[in-house]
A and B are shown apart, each in its own frame.
Chain A
Amino acid sequence: MKRFLMGLISLLFALILTSCWDIKSLQDVNYFTGIGIDYKNNKYQIYIQQLNFSSVAKTEGGKLSTPAEVWVGHAEGESISQAVIELYQTTQQTVFWGHLSSIILSEDVLKHGNLLAVFDALMRSPEIRYTPWIYGSKKDMRELLTTKPFFNLSPLNSILYSPETNYNQRPIITPMRTSQFIRDLREPGKMVFLPSLSISDGTWTANKKPDPKLEVDGVFAMHDDSFKSWVDYKDLTGLRWFKNRTLTSRIFLRKNNSNVATLKIAKPKSKIRINISNGEPVFNIEVSAAAILLELWTQTSEKELENLANKLIAEEIRSTFQNGMKRQIDLLRLEHVLYRKKFKLWKKLTSNGKVALHPIKLGEVTVKIKVVQSGMYKLKRKMTPH
């Protein structure tokens, strides 16, 4: 009898614990996948992207004959949540934010908006996670959110939503997740490089008509929660030697105006040492990595290749540093190294973070590249047909 009663109670639990109050029917929900945030006329402008999920889920063997449909909603308000409430007037169904996977901040919101308030509004919501990719942009939000990838695929296959594979091929500007952006933004003395999303009109044509595609063309440099400068990716090439995730960075070696070789540099390791001279920090940089020979134009010894590569990479690092100093920004994030390693000195020189460390003295840049592989050919091949 007792067992029967217990069984009955357990059954009762199973029946009433189905959380019917919070049930969501999947088809009756609007999924917001991307949000663009702009700041115009002292008001926050939000642009919401919604996708037609029938174009996201691929059917077996079926070709995608129609372009993926994308809806972009726009609303404005004194704050983010005001704008969201405004948008809810027309959303028709329950909105679910749990699949928000991309955030774009306009240049204006980075410059004039209150970023901490923006993230407060987003992250306070129990539905939004820290995982969305985050970008800054100078372009029109509506255009960014409606630019589609190839083959009628949905935007989920564009760099707005899946930037990693693209980055692995061309590792210059690392894609950033919201967690990392917020972490770096709130870190004292640290430069944050928010990837800048843009649209390239001229690269691709579809059936001879221009077909715009998304691209990452630079970064928005931020320091201490405030906007510093926009930097073109060409001025940032030295940055990649500090990311040990970098897999396939290529360098093209030239000597006396003639082509020598192309090397692939794998997993560079970097060390930044601080020397104090006259109470001021001097930063010495050491980079070491292994290289793989990709193409060879002129017969060159291993030693010579390594020397050329060392010189080129050191030059890249120096010029990136100089590009930053011209704009009064610290592109190699040296100030933060000082914060980490010599906190007391940092505190003294920056009045406890009130001013950025400036000027910054770059000491020696030492690069040690080791050629470890020469691919399917020997390093020394005959440079003539026979």
Chain B
Amino acid sequence: MQNQKINVVQAVFLFALAVGITNHVIIVPLILNSALRDSWISPLIALPPLLLWTTILFLIMKLTKQKSLYIWFKTHYNPLVASLVIAPIILFVFLILFVTIRDTTAWTKITYLPKTPFPVIVGLYVFAGFIAALTGLRTITIAAGILFPAVIMFGFFVMSVNYQFKDYSYLLPVFTNGYAPALKGTIYVLGGLVEFILLLSVQQHLSKKMRFSTLILMTLAVTCLIFGPVIASIAIFGPYEAADQRYPSYEQWRMVLIGKFISHLDFLSIYQWLSGSLVRISLALFLLFDLLHMTHHRKKWIWMFITCVALIVMVTRLNLSDAIFFEFLQRYYFPYTLSFFYFFPFLLLLLILMKRGKAHHEFT
């Protein structure tokens, strides 16, 4: 196998695209729905707990010397503990796959391909992710590096063009219904950001040590990515209309208008969203098998293929209406992933600290 390591900058691009961009599309409607005008406060409230959590994450990466989590726990504890440690991450990766595929394809079907059969959309999309995942992390990372700059550029484009429709006075007054709505919105902000836990499962693929400042900068940048569209939505549509929209970020794209002759540029958002979610599902697929120690397995592609088919069947055959899916995200998916994965790193750190001395002893 040739060198499959990626450098830190690449990893930052990869995570900004896979976690940041795509996350905000899924999360923004949930935040607006629960926090209305206070939505823009939610990312601010999320900052302190996020910084604490990121610090813990960094400590884990440092103390495990960016080795594979499974191997570290196998050598310091036993295979059972190691399996128990990575099992939640495996489950999480699978859920990410399902949610991302479901949300992206449903959006595709509703907005720009209404007459294309749903299984065809899902099938082609998953197949593209399958090929990327099969070729390995390096491919996914390079793809992310190529796609990312344009995605960011288009983001700034939509932000500045829509300035003509924005009235920032709509951001006030805040806390008209107490502090509860803003705190509820924070659940979704953090619920999305705990996906950075996946960094623990790519840490062994990094060619260098991740710096603390890099990690903090990345999480801050991704929080800004949530902050931006939330503010824009309130300023353009007002809090109540924005809360009723299923795809608020996409609605912003549909507003884009330059003078009398340039409009209907929302196809650029397709580029943004599809590149984000494609990188996301291929990364998730790769990690799923990497965590199962099948990266170098000869039959990996068969298992991956079967997983993809299962995902396609799940997304298309489960009679899941969009309303139920939205409620699933709102009531279960984000609150539960948040409450588990926020405290998960604390537990890991505790386990690591307990055995650190012993490992040191073994070495000497």
Among the 9-residue stretches A36-44, A126-134, A247-255, A289-297, the one with 4 or more Cβ atoms under 8 Å from chain B is A126-134
| Smallest beta-carbon distance A14→chain B, Å | 12
- Are A183's CB and B110's CB within 8 A? no
> Are the C-beta atoms of B263 and A131 separated by less than 8 Å?
yes
CA–CA, A28 to B288, complex, Å? 47
Is there an interface contact between A180 and B115, defined as CB atoms closer than 8 Å?
A: no
Decide if the interface of chain A is mainly helix, strand, loop or mixed: helix
Residue of B nearest to A352 (CB): B176
A179 touches B255 (CB 8 A): yes
- Count of B residues near A, CB < 8 Å? 31
- State whether the Cβ of A206 lies closer than 8 Å to any Cβ in chain B: no
- Given A21-B115, A22-B112, A126-B110, answer yes or no on A183-B254 (Cβ-Cβ < 8 Å): no
- B236/A183 in contact, CB under 8 A: yes
Q: Are B131 and A183 in contact (CB under 8 A)?
A: no
Determine if A26 is an interface residue (Cβ-Cβ < 8 Å).
no
Report, as a range, how many residues of chain A touch the other chain: 20 to 34
**Which of B111, B113, B176 has a CB less than 8 Å from the CB of A343?**
B176
Are A179 and B110 CB-contacts (below 8 A) given A17-B124, A129-B255, A131-B257?
A: no
CB <8 Å contact, B110 and A22: no
Contacts A22-B112, A130-B255, A340-B169 given; does A183 touch B264 at CB 8 Å: no
B240 near A186 with CB under 8 A, answer yes
Render A115-127 as a binary contact track against B, CB cut-off 8 A, 1 for contact.
0000000000010
Q: Once the chains bind, are B114 and A126 in contact (CB under 8 Å)? A: yes
B48 within 8 A of A: no
Residue of B124, B173, B236 contacting most chain A CB atoms (<10 Å): B173
Total cross-chain contacts (CB, 8 A): 65
Task: Choose among A19, A186, A339 the residue that contacts B238 (Cβ–Cβ < 8 A).
Answer: A186
A340 to chain B: which residues have CB within 8 Å?
Answer: 169, 172-173
Pairwise interchain contact A21-B113, C-beta atoms closer than 8 A: yes
Say yes or no: B116 contacts A21, CB within 8 Å. Answer: yes
Compute how far the CA of A339 lies from the CA of B112 in the bound complex, rounded to whole angstroms.
Answer: 40
Give the most central of A22, A126, A177, A339: most B CB within 10 Å.
A126
Residues on A with C-beta less than 8 A from B176 are 343, 347
Q: Indicate which residue in B110, B114, B116, B173 contacts A339 across the interface (CB closer than 8 Å).
A: B173
A319 CB–B CB distance under 8 Å: no
Chain A contacts with B in 321-375, Cβ cutoff 8 A: 339-341, 343, 347
Which residues from B are CB-within-8-Å of A16? 124
Judge whether B251 is part of the interface by a CB distance below 8 angstroms: yes
Interface presence of B237 (CB below 8 A): yes
- Closest-by-CB residue of B relative to A9 is B131
Specify which of B113, B114, B238, B255 is in contact with A184 (CB 8 Å cutoff): B238
A180 engages B165 (CB within 8 Å):
yes
- Asked if A162 and B251 make an inter-chain contact with CB atoms under 8 angstroms apart, the answer reads no
Q: Kindly list chain B residues whose C-beta atoms are within 8 Å of the C-beta of A179.
A: 165, 236-237, 255
Q: Which residue of B lies closest to A339 (CB)?
A: B173
Interface residues of A in 159-215 (CB under 8 A from B): 162, 177, 179-180, 182-184, 186-187
A67 within 8 A of B: no
Q: Is B260 located at the chain interface by the 8 A CB criterion? A: yes
A9 to B128, CA, bound (A): 11
Distance (Å) between the CB of A6 and the closest chain B CB? Answer: 9
Asked if A7 CB lies within 8 Å of chain B CBs, one says no
B117:A21 contact, CB within 8 angstroms? yes
A186 — which chain B residues lie within 8 A by C-beta? Answer: 238, 240-241
> With the chains together, A332 CA to B188 CA distance in Å?
39
Q: Taking A21-B120, A130-B251, A339-B173 as given, write out 15 further A-B residue pairs in contact, using a Cβ cutoff of 8 Å, ordered by the A residue number.
A: A21-B117, A22-B115, A126-B110, A126-B112, A126-B114, A130-B237, A130-B254, A131-B254, A131-B255, A179-B165, A179-B255, A182-B241, A183-B170, A183-B238, A340-B169
